[in-house]
Amino acid sequence: MGKDNENNQQSASSKETIIRFDRVSFEWGPTKPILEEVSFSIRRGAKLTLMGQNGAGKSTIFGLIMGISSPESGIINKVNGLTVAISRQVIPKDELSLTVREFFEKCLKNISTKKVYDIDPRIDEVLEVVNLKSHLGHTKIHDRLMKEFSGGQQARLLLASALIQDADVLLLDEPTNNLDKAGIAHFTQFLVDYKKTVLVISHDAEFLNAFTQGVLYLDVYTKKIEQYVGNYFNVVKEITARVEKENMKNAQLEKEIQSKKDQANVFAHKGGRLRLVARRMREKAEELEDEIVEVRKEDKAIRPFTIPTQGDMIGELLNISSFTTMKNGKIVKHKVSISLKKNTHLLLQGPNGIGKTTLLERLASGLSDGEKVKEGIRIGYYRQDFSTLNFNHTVYESLASAMLAGGERLDEERMRSVAAGFLITGEFIRTKIGSLSEGQKGLVAFARLVLEKPGILILDEPTNHINFRHLPIIAEALNKYTGVMILVSHVPEFVKQIRIDEVLDLEK
C-alpha cells in the first residue's frame, strides 16, 4: 500500500506545473508589442512545440523563460531551483575562437559557478548523443577551435552544449537546421526517449510529430498564446478546422446583421411605431456583432516571386576542375570536370563536415584554382549564417545596396514593392538586420537576391529558419531560375520541387 502511495506521489509530482506565464506582456519598444497578457503553463516532463510566424516572438518567449528578458507586466512563475538550458541557433562570433573544451566549460558556468573537473569524458558522452564523434571519425577534438567545424557540425555542438547541462527544461531553437538526414534521425530518437521537459521551435513537421505531445501557438496578430494537446499533425489539423468553422459562423452572422440593418433602415423611413421596430432591429444587429468571434488570422505566406538574372550571359559561366573534402581529419583533393552554362542547376551533396560550405565559399570568392567564374558574372550568395548581410545596416539600407549592386538606379517604389512581397513592411524596413529573427533575416536575404539579379546563384541550406508556408513558393522561384544555380539542402521534400540538372556528391 505504501509503495502504491509513493508511486502515486511520484506520478503527481512528475505532472506538476513547473513554468507558468500569468498575463505576461512584453514589447520591444513602444511601437513593437510582442506579447499581450499571455497565459499558459508547462508541466514537468512535457514535450511541447512552440509555433508561430517568423518574427512573432517565439525566441522572445525563450528569453523570458531563461530570465534574459523581463516582462513589462504579469508574472512568470518557475518552481524553486528549476534549471533551464537552451540550444541556440548560431554560435556567437566571440565564441568561435574558443576550443571545444572552453566552449563547453562556458556553457556549464550557466548553471553552476563551481569549476568543472575532468570535463572531456562528459563532452564525449554528449557528442555521442548528437552523433558527432562517429561522424568525425576520430575522438581528439577537445582542443579544436569552434570555427574549424562546418555549419552542420556546429549545429550538433550547439545541441550538445545544451544537453551537457543536464537541465530540468531543454529549450531547442531550430535544432535540426544544418543537420543531415542521419543526424535528424539520431536526434529524434534521443527526444523520443528523453524523460525531461522539452520546448522546441522548429519548422520541420515530421521531426516535431515524432515526439510532440502538445503545441503552444503564438498568434502574431492577437499576441496571445493558444495551448493545444495532441501530436503535431493533429494540432495543426485542429487549428485549421477551428479557423474554418469560425469563419463560416462569422459569415452567417454578418449576413444576418446586414439583413437586420437593411430592415431597420426600411422601417425607420416609414415613421410612427415602425421607428421603434427599427430601433429593436439595430439593437439585435449590435447583439449579433458581439457574437462575432475574433478568428486567428492564418499566417501570411510570401508572394510568388522570380529571381531575375543579369543579361548577356553566353557560354560557360562556371567551371569546376577540382575540389577538396575533409575525411577523418585529413584534406583530400579530387579532380572533376563540371561545366555550367546558363539555366543549369547543380545539387551539391554530402554529409555534414565533408566540405560543401567550404566549396561554396571558394566559388563565391572566385579565389580558388579549382573553380573558374566567367568575368563580369554577378554571384548571389545565400549563406546559412547570413554573414553576407551587414548586421549594422537597416533593412532599407541592405535592400538599397542590393538594388545598386544589381545595376539598377535606386527606385524606392520598386524596392518597397519587392520588400512587401517578402512581408517586409512598416517598421520592419527601418529595423537593423542584427535585431531581426533568423527567419526574418532569411526573407531579407531572398529579397536581396531578387534585387541583385545574379548570373550565378549559390544557396547554402536556404530552408533553415524559414516558415514552412513560404517553402513551396521559394522552391518554385528556384525551380524557374534561369542562371546557374548551385544548391545545398538536407531537406529532400524541398529539393524534389526544384529542377536539378547535375549532382555533385562530395562523398562519392
Averaged pLDDT, groups of 10, the chain, 508 residues long: 42 72 86 86 94 80 91 93 87 88 85 69 86 61 85 86 91 83 84 92 86 89 87 84 77 82 79 77 76 59 92 86 79 87 92 83 77 87 90 95 90 92 87 88 96 95 84 95 93 90 88
**Per-residue pLDDT, 367:** 65
Give 230-235 contacts, CB < 8 A, sequence gap 24+. Answer: 232/49, 232/205, 232/208, 233/205, 233/209, 235/49
Q: Which of 67, 10, 58, 4 is nearest to 34 (CA)?
A: 58
Task: Give the residue from 268, 161, 170, 200 showing the smallest Cα distance to 58.
Answer: 200
pLDDT of residue 6: 41
Helices (H), 87-175: 100-109, 119-129, 133-136, 151-163
pLDDT for position 458: 95
Say how far apart CA 463 and CA 178 lie, in whole Å. 9
Q: What CA–CA distance (Å, rounded) separates 450 from 211?
A: 38
User: Would you state the pLDDT for residue 253?
Assistant: 78
Task: Note the pLDDT of residue 283.
Answer: 79
Residue in 260, 248, 315, 264 with CA at minimum distance from that of residue 288: 260
- Domains in the chain with CATH codes: 11-235 (3.40.50.300), 316-505 (3.40.50.300)
Are 452 and 282 contacting, i.e. CB atoms less than 8 angstroms apart? no
Cα dist. 154→139, 173, 271, 298 in Å?
16, 14, 78, 34
Strands, DSSP E only, in 376-441? 379-382
Report which DSSP code applies to 172: E
Displacement of CA 52 from its chain's centroid (Å): 10
Q: Which residues fall within 8 angstroms of residue 392, CB to CB, at 6 or more apart?
A: 432, 433, 434
Closest to 15 in 3D by CA, of 41, 39, 38: 41
Q: Which of 247, 239, 249, 241 is nearest to 218 (CA)?
A: 239
SS (H, E, C) 273-341: CHHHHHHHHHHHHHHHHHHCCCCCCCCCCCCCCCCCCCCCCCCEEEEEEEEEEEECCEEEEEEEEEEEE
Query: What pLDDT score does 4 carry?
Result: 45
The label of the residue with cell 495543426 reads: 236
Beta-carbon count within 10 A of 29 CB: 7
Q: Which of 137, 157, 140, 151 is nearest to 180 (CA)?
A: 151
Cβ atoms of 163 and 130 closer than 8 Å: yes
CA torsion, points 229, 232, 234, 236, in degrees to nearest 10? 100
pTM of the model: 0.67
Q: Return the pLDDT at 3.
A: 42
Element containing residue 475 per DSSP (H, E): helix 471-479
